[in-house]
Chain A
């Protein structure tokens, strides 16, 4: 019994750690989300420490990964074996600005044990270009070096950070560009975009001219953001390499007329991204039916605009790629039939839509929804229950509910009912991995299997980390 509870608790935490980002959602505020998440982290850490650490190997989002690392490092007394390596492996995969923010939080909290210092040191040593970091994340780097008592990577960077007036000239091109950018406009194009932006404003460089010249120094995300702000249409080349959910988000940001005009191109890009995400699973899922939520609540919130709808759109194309050719049906709750022109509007009559999906007798049923079934409430759960118990007791059809929204009130994603497993999802491309986790959520496999699964994921993560370090 306790085993079952443990497995459920851990799965609950995984769902939260995949979906929640502490930001405002459609139905709950940022404060509620953070409070709920903080409780959940502490609860799982205290009760299931090894499993808690192992979650770092799963596809939990970076916000939660940083929280897990912080919690682990704050409580060194309870640490288990191999935790340090797991933390180091996860940090190596995270965005540097998040890691620097985490280090600063550790400093504020006064966490400075030997293990923490070793982890900071190791992570800093692995940074490919410490000088670039020093320019781009200056306060973060300084805080980390001071906190862990680590010397700067080289004398020049050290001087740059801690004694900026000492040198009249730097040998490193980025450091030198930073120094010259104070008075020389042309030097700022040798700097990272976010730093150059400030200098450009100081020199009074026109935004358009600046963006054009800095373009080669921009990361992909920075380019995407500035494009969106400027309202310039992305070309086919830009769309090609984008991950599925991000692509879906940019498609949904376009006006209807443009979506209709560029139908071929956008559909092509979405299909290509879905095929990439499906990888070896492509075409292997047999007949698939999906119920996709495009009700008003899928508009998300101001900070996560249209995220649930983008996940649904991404899942639509991914499931099309996963299903056997021509054996996919996607049903939107609004009754719409054109996935490219979806918009968040109307109620959520999930129950009837699920019935429509079951009509074709699919091998797999996937429901993508925030779990608020309101026309009438609870009908989806009832339909699934009766269907499972009366019409499909032999489980010919595998059903799973993937939910992109964390519900702060229940410390989990909202479920439709006990008869169908619910898993949290953040990016549509994680769907195949999540369906595996859904197997545990159904309660037919216990803690032993879950532990084995986590061990396998941990081993994979550590192996990948080792490979990356030696290469």
Chain B
């Protein structure tokens, strides 16, 4: 599996609010056997005392619960089940313990949206250099890339997104949405069942968005609305049936234009999938982009597929250019055993240029100035 497969999801006309464009995705039939629901954690701020005076604080807005407890039980969504009366909130004592967690004996899986994907991205070559080259400092070899941190924005900090989600009109059968800011794909969100979507739609404002999304929404102006145009040249339309056909054609043309043009980056890019969990005939994956520097939008994300590989659940996070650059650099360094000289050669650039790039990517602290000078001298004399 290398690509995201959105078979079974049809595009409907977008709704525009300022710089935000929301494209609804509609399923003719819900995915059987899987339901998603939201879980609200009571202890919103998880505080963990590390012991040396440091306190680790994390904010956990909500988690998702995937339920595959029986094929055909469409009413099994957590929180809406009758008779069972589940608790409204489940307190989390250690929010950072495991990001996909199955409760013993239950056919339900809890996970925090996007944290799997972020974990995947942040742990990319987290260990740092694997071979002791003299250019790397002792700290880099001992502790690796630390601390692991990426900036993200909550949905309500993205200008206009909250309002756009509020005035958005859900389609019947809608199971997903593609969020664009300044017409760049910011996030994709797909769930198995329309009822789930209706309940989870408001959670989009609590989710994480990359800094690029925030910047685009902040600096980008209003985006133009796609508007229908019916061509009525000589003799084109003679009666109401012709007019109806032309109107239908407008709907279809939008869907084609969108899938081929706007969502192309998401659908065409090959991704590296890693299975995080298997549940019945479904599998929970996280994926990383190729970190290709071709100007395409790069997403990390997580996905649940059914036995045919079709998407039942999808959530993506758009990386900024700086994040893509970091990922690319780490990939290339790792493929050359972290040797700066060979990496520079593989990239076709000078060694000094590579060092500059490492510094620019924010990994400058990992380099050993003394070692660099030594290596440069060796290379000159060598």
Considering only CB atoms, which chain B residue lies closest to A296 in the complex?
Answer: B169
Cβ of B219 within 8 Å of any chain A Cβ, yes or no, is: no
In contact, A383 and B247 (Cβ under 8 angstroms): yes
B356 to chain A, nearest CB (A): 48
Cβ of B133 within 8 Å of any chain A Cβ, yes or no, is: no
Docked Cα-Cα span, A348 to B237, in Å, equals 24
In contact, A377 and B240 (Cβ under 8 angstroms): no
B227 to chain A, nearest CB (A): 4
Knowing A377-B227, A383-B230 are in contact, say whether A297-B247 is a contact too (CB < 8 A). no
Cβ of A352 within 8 Å of any chain B Cβ, yes or no, is: yes
Name the interface residues of A347-380: CB closer than 8 Å to any CB of B.
347-348, 351-352, 355, 358-359, 374-379
On chain A, the residues within 8 Å of B240 by CB distance are 355, 358-359, 387, 391
In contact, A347 and B171 (Cβ under 8 angstroms): yes
On chain A, the residues within 8 Å of B14 by CB distance are 377
Considering only CB atoms, which chain A residue lies closest to B232 in the complex?
Answer: A386
Cβ of B137 within 8 Å of any chain A Cβ, yes or no, is: no
The main secondary structure of chain A at its interface with chain B is helix
Interface string of A6-39 (1 = CB under 8 A from B): 0000000000000000000011000000000000
Our pick among B167, B171, B229 for the contact of A375 (Cβ within 8 Å) is B171
On chain A, the residues within 8 Å of B167 by CB distance are 26-27, 297
Docked Cα-Cα span, A390 to B238, in Å, equals 7
Cβ of A346 within 8 Å of any chain B Cβ, yes or no, is: yes
Docked Cα-Cα span, A386 to B230, in Å, equals 8
In contact, A355 and B244 (Cβ under 8 angstroms): yes
Name the interface residues of B1-28: CB closer than 8 Å to any CB of A.
12-16, 24
Cβ of A430 within 8 Å of any chain B Cβ, yes or no, is: no
In contact, B226 and A376 (Cβ under 8 angstroms): yes
Other than the known A352-B247, A355-B240, A391-B237, what 10 A-B pairs have Cβ atoms closer than 8 Å?
A: A297-B167, A346-B169, A346-B170, A378-B225, A378-B228, A379-B247, A383-B230, A385-B230, A389-B232, A390-B237
23 CB contacts below 8 A, A to B, read: A296-B170, A297-B169, A347-B24, A347-B171, A348-B169, A355-B243, A359-B240, A375-B13, A375-B171, A375-B251, A376-B227, A376-B254, A377-B13, A377-B14, A378-B229, A379-B228, A379-B251, A382-B228, A382-B247, A383-B230, A386-B243, A386-B246, A391-B240
In contact, B228 and A346 (Cβ under 8 angstroms): no
Kindly state the interface size class of chain B when it binds its partner: 20 to 34
Cβ of B239 within 8 Å of any chain A Cβ, yes or no, is: yes
Our pick among A296, A358, A381, A386 for the contact of B237 (Cβ within 8 Å) is A386
Interface string of B333-368 (1 = CB under 8 A from A): 000000000000000000000000000000000000
On chain A, the residues within 8 Å of B69 by CB distance are none
A358 to chain B, nearest CB (A): 6
Knowing A379-B250, A386-B246 are in contact, say whether A374-B169 is a contact too (CB < 8 A). yes
In contact, B232 and A376 (Cβ under 8 angstroms): no
A131 to chain B, nearest CB (A): 49
Knowing A382-B228, A383-B230 are in contact, say whether A295-B169 is a contact too (CB < 8 A). yes
Cβ of B172 within 8 Å of any chain A Cβ, yes or no, is: yes
Considering only CB atoms, which chain B residue lies closest to A344 in the complex?
Answer: B169
Cβ of A345 within 8 Å of any chain B Cβ, yes or no, is: yes
On chain B, the residues within 8 Å of A377 by CB distance are 13-16, 225-228
Docked Cα-Cα span, A295 to B244, in Å, equals 21
> Inter-chain contact count A-B, CB under 8 Å?
86
Interface size on A, residues (CB 8 A): 29
In contact, A346 and B230 (Cβ under 8 angstroms): no
On chain A, the residues within 8 Å of B16 by CB distance are 377
Docked Cα-Cα span, A389 to B231, in Å, equals 12
On chain B, the residues within 8 Å of A345 by CB distance are 170
Docked Cα-Cα span, A390 to B241, in Å, equals 13
On chain B, the residues within 8 Å of A295 by CB distance are 169
Docked Cα-Cα span, A456 to B353, in Å, equals 84
Docked Cα-Cα span, A375 to B169, in Å, equals 10
Docked Cα-Cα span, A355 to B239, in Å, equals 11
Our pick among A347, A379, A383, A389 for the contact of B12 (Cβ within 8 Å) is A347
Docked Cα-Cα span, A352 to B14, in Å, equals 16
Considering only CB atoms, which chain B residue lies closest to A378 in the complex?
Answer: B227
Interface string of B159-186 (1 = CB under 8 A from A): 0000000010111100000000000000
In contact, A376 and B230 (Cβ under 8 angstroms): no
Most buried by A among B15, B228, B232: B228
Docked Cα-Cα span, A359 to B167, in Å, equals 31
On chain B, the residues within 8 Å of A348 by CB distance are 169
In contact, B13 and A346 (Cβ under 8 angstroms): no
Most buried by B among A26, A346, A387, A390: A390
Considering only CB atoms, which chain A residue lies closest to B227 in the complex?
Answer: A378
In contact, A382 and B254 (Cβ under 8 angstroms): no
Interface string of B98-132 (1 = CB under 8 A from A): 00000000000000000000000000000000000
A182 to chain B, nearest CB (A): 48
On chain A, the residues within 8 Å of B24 by CB distance are 347
On chain A, the residues within 8 Å of B230 by CB distance are 382-383, 385-386
A223 to chain B, nearest CB (A): 34
Considering only CB atoms, which chain A residue lies closest to B17 in the complex?
Answer: A27
Name the interface residues of B281-331: CB closer than 8 Å to any CB of A.
none
Docked Cα-Cα span, A296 to B226, in Å, equals 20
On chain A, the residues within 8 Å of B246 by CB distance are 386
Docked Cα-Cα span, A383 to B251, in Å, equals 13
A304 to chain B, nearest CB (A): 15
Docked Cα-Cα span, A439 to B266, in Å, equals 51
In contact, A382 and B169 (Cβ under 8 angstroms): no
Docked Cα-Cα span, A189 to B54, in Å, equals 67
